[in-house]
Amino acid sequence: MNSILFFIIFIPIVEIYLLIKIGSQIGAITTILLIFTTAIVGIYYAKYEGLNTLKSGIFQLSKNEAPAYEIISGAAIAFAALLLIIPGFLTDLVGFLMIFPPSRKFLFNKLSKRFDHKKKKNDYIDGDFEDIQDDDDRKI
């Protein structure tokens, strides 16, 4: 089964289950208020972290360095903000984990180790060249 199709089916089922279970414990109105509160607080914090990431990226550019971590971090913050807008407790939990810098850095380290391919020791082409001077060069 395709993993994307699995998540499209699995996530709403888990979200509905959690909404029913938590709603039965704390009440329907409180559950709705909690969902809206996490969305508002999460979006505000995502904006704050996004601006910090933008400042860090500009600082990296001013030092003539590539802001690779900042670009990936900005994309993760945007995805986390999207998850926080979606109503539900599981998506809010994942969204908050992606917004906080320590957990985001931990996640990036785990993913980079997973996708890091070992580079060959000799990843270059060795060659020699000789500069040939032609005496018959004509100047136009």
Q: Give the dihedral of Cα atoms 58, 59, 64, 68; nearest 10 deg.
A: -70
d(CA 34, CA 71): 31
Mean pLDDT of the chain: 86
Work out the pLDDT band at 110, boundaries 50, 70, 90: confident
Q: Return all residues near 83 (Cβ < 8 A) that are at least 6 apart.
A: 91, 92, 94, 95, 98
What are the angstrom distances between the C-alpha of 134 and each of 130, 131, 137, 138? 12, 10, 6, 10
Residue where the block lists tokens 């360095």? 65
Looking at the chain, the whole-number percentage of residues with pLDDT higher than 90 is 54
pLDDT at residue 90 is higher than 90: yes
Whether the pLDDT of residue 136 is over 70: the answer is: no
Tell me: the pLDDT tens digits for 10-67? 999 999 999 999 999 999 899 999 999 999 998 999 999 999 999 999 999 999 988 8
Q: Any idea where the domains of the chain sit in the sequence?
A: 3-115
Cβ-based neighbour number of residue 19 at 10 Å: 18
Q: Is the pLDDT of residue 73 over 70?
A: yes
Of 57, 86, 83, 52, nearest in space to 70 by CA:
57
Band (pLDDT 50/70/90 cuts) for residue 3 is confident
Q: Which carries the bigger pLDDT value, residue 140 or residue 131?
A: 131
* pLDDT reported for residue 49: 92
Q: What is the pLDDT, as a whole number, of residue 35?
A: 92
* Assigned token pair, 105: 């850095």
| SS3 call for 65 | coil
Output Rg (C-alpha) for the chain, integer angstroms: 25
